[in-house]
Amino acid sequence: MDPGIDIVMKKLLSGIFLSLVSMVNVHAESSAGNDIFSGMLVQDRDDIVFVRCDRPSLKMKIVETDDVNKKNVEAAYQTFKENKDKPLYFTFVGHVKNDDKGAYTFYLTDVTDTKLGSSCNLSDSLDELLG
């Protein structure tokens, strides 16, 4: 494939993906203060942190809310621990707070879906698609 076409396709697909993610987040914000996020769990030293698919450079500390769905969250952590070397992402329910110093915390309420064998990182997905 022509390298110029490859770059154009990546930019086009990136724009479509970001538009879809924005639509999902706008819709989710009206639901009881929680949002729906696609993201990954990442080992960061001694902690497991949350990384949104649309913001791979932003690592967020995870705090479970009082009404957390323990069963789903524990299953997600177990799946993560068993599959650290494989592509994996989740659909999370929760909300993000900024401490005004640039640090973000993700308040986790639930995990509604697990995608094993797929990456939600846009550049990984485009590389797979364009092969």
Q: Which residues contact 74 (CB under 8 A, 6 or more apart)?
A: none
Kindly provide the residue ranges of all beta strands, DSSP E only, lying in the chain, ordered along the sequence.
35-44, 47-52, 59-64, 88-98, 104-116
List pLDDT tens digits, range 29-74: 333 589 999 999 999 999 999 998 888 788 999 999 999 999 999 9
- Which pTM does this prediction carry? 0.67
Alpha carbons within 13 angstroms on the beta-carbon side of residue 106 total 24
Residue 19 has pLDDT above 90, yes or no: no
Residue 131 has pLDDT above 90, yes or no: no
Fold of 3-130: OB fold (Dihydrolipoamide Acetyltransferase, E2P) (2.40.50)
Residue 24 has pLDDT above 50, yes or no: no
Nearest Cα to 52, choosing from 81, 11, 21, 26?
21
List pLDDT tens digits, range 84-117: 888 889 999 999 998 888 889 999 999 999 998 8
Percent of the chain with pLDDT over 90: 42
Q: What is the pLDDT of residue 101?
A: 84
What mean pLDDT comes out for the span 68-81?
Answer: 95
Residue 76 has pLDDT above 90, yes or no: yes
pLDDT: which is higher, 128 or 55: 55
Domain range list for the chain: 3-130
Q: What is the pLDDT of residue 87?
A: 85
